[in-house]
Each structure stands twice: as structure tokens, then as C-alpha cells.
């Protein structure tokens, strides 16, 4: 399929996509704050600057975009233009994720990943269920949590 916008417009559109303060991240932060959880944002002292850091619980939450992290779900589709570039880009994102997760684990941090597909799209979960799972996990001692859409 041919792109409907010029390469310059597409480049400008892609450059405007934020890596922090994304809509899924803001939704999680606001709901968890309303439940009494206090956190730090993008703590530069930790590997990968996790999205939401809960020092009291020695836990972090990563709000992952399905496209940028190559998640195997209905929201992810390989782009048809510049396939070599995108395969390399997404592979590198996955490698960086694995390296940062291992470093955080070595430091004793518990980790949760909330995938974009859990919050939007046809396979999304009820938002209250996503927040309940995060709340329960934060108060537990479980080392890992992954929340993805139903598929």
C-alpha cells in the first residue's frame, strides 16, 4: 500500500510521537494516584528510566506501546514501507527492553508491563480490571506482572 502523505510529512508525524507522558501512561498514573499510590516518573537513576517508579514497593511499571516494542497482538503490524529499517528499529527496541529489565531485576526491582492493547482496541480489558491487577501486584511481593489485551 502506498503512503497517503509525503515522506517529509510522515517524518514530521513520526517525530511528534512522544516517548514519555503518553496517554496510556497518564491513564495508569492518574488511576494509581487516586488509589493512594505515590511514585516517581522516569527516574534517571534506574536503567531505562522506567515510566512509573514506586520506591516504597521496589516496583516499576512500564507502559509499553505495542507498535514500538513489537508486541504480538492485534495492534501490531509490520509497516510495508522501509521494512528493513523498521525490523532493525523494533529489534533494537526489544533488545534494549531486555537489557534494562535484566538490569532492574539485578538491582532488586519488581517489574510490571502494561501493554497498550490492554487499554485500547478491540481486545482491551476493562480499565478498572487493569488498575485492580496493578494495585494487587504492587501490594504483593510477586516479581513480575504482564497485562495484555484479550486475544
**Residue 57 pLDDT exceeds 70:** yes
Looking at residue 30, what is its pLDDT?
A: 97
Residue 5 lies inside a defined structural domain of this protein:
no
**Residue 64 pLDDT exceeds 80:** yes
Looking at residue 9, what is its pLDDT?
A: 77
Residue 116 lies inside a defined structural domain of this protein:
yes
Residue 100 neighbours by CB under 8 Å, 6+ apart: 47, 48, 50
DSSP string, 24-46: HHHHHHHHHHHTT---EES-TTS
What's the DSSP call for residue 95?
H
Residue 4 lies inside a defined structural domain of this protein:
no
Residue 14 lies inside a defined structural domain of this protein:
no
134: domain CATH number is 3.40.960.10
pLDDT digits (tens, 9 = 90+) for 1-53: 566 778 777 667 666 666 677 889 999 999 999 999 999 999 999 999 999 99
Q: What is the enclosing helix (H) or strand (E) of 62?
A: strand 59-64
Full domain range(s) for residue 58: 19-147
Residue 9 lies inside a defined structural domain of this protein:
no
Residue 126 lies inside a defined structural domain of this protein:
yes
Q: Residue 38: left if φ>0, alpha if ψ -120 to 50, beta else—which one?
A: beta
Question: In the chain, how many H helices and how many E strands?
Answer: 4, 5
Global pTM value: 0.87
Residue 26 lies inside a defined structural domain of this protein:
yes
Looking at residue 16, what is its pLDDT?
A: 60
Instruction: Work out the mean pLDDT of the chain and round it to a whole number.
Output: 92
Question: Domains in the chain: how many in total?
Answer: 1
Residue 10 lies inside a defined structural domain of this protein:
no
Amino acid at each position: 500500500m502506498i503512503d497517503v502523505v509525503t515522506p517529509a510529512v510522515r517524518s514530521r508525524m513520526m517525530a511528534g510521537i512522544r516517548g514519555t507522558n503518553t496517554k496510556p501512561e497518564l491513564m495508569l498514573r492518574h488511576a494509581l494516584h487516586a488509589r493512594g499510590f505515590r511514585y516517581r516518573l522516569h527516574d534517571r537513576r534506574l536503567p531505562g528510566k522506567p515510566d512509573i517508579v514506586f520506591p516504597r514497593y521496589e516496583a516499576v511499571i512500564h507502559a509499553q506501546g505495542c507498535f514500538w516494542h513489537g508486541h504480538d497482538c492485534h495492534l501490531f503490524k509490520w509497516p510495508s514501507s522501509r521494512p528493513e529499517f523498521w525490523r532493525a528499529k523494533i529489534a533494537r527496541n526489544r533488545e534494549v527492553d531486555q537489557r534494562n529489565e535484566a538490569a532492574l531485576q539485578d538491582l532488586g526491582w519488581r517489574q510490571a508491563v502494561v501493554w497498550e492493547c490492554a487499554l485500547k482496541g478491540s481486545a482491551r480489558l476493562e480499565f478498572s480490571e487493569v488498575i485492580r491487577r496493578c494495585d494487587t501486584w504492587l501490594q504483593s511481593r510477586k516479581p513480575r506482572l504482564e497485562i495484555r489485551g484479550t486475544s
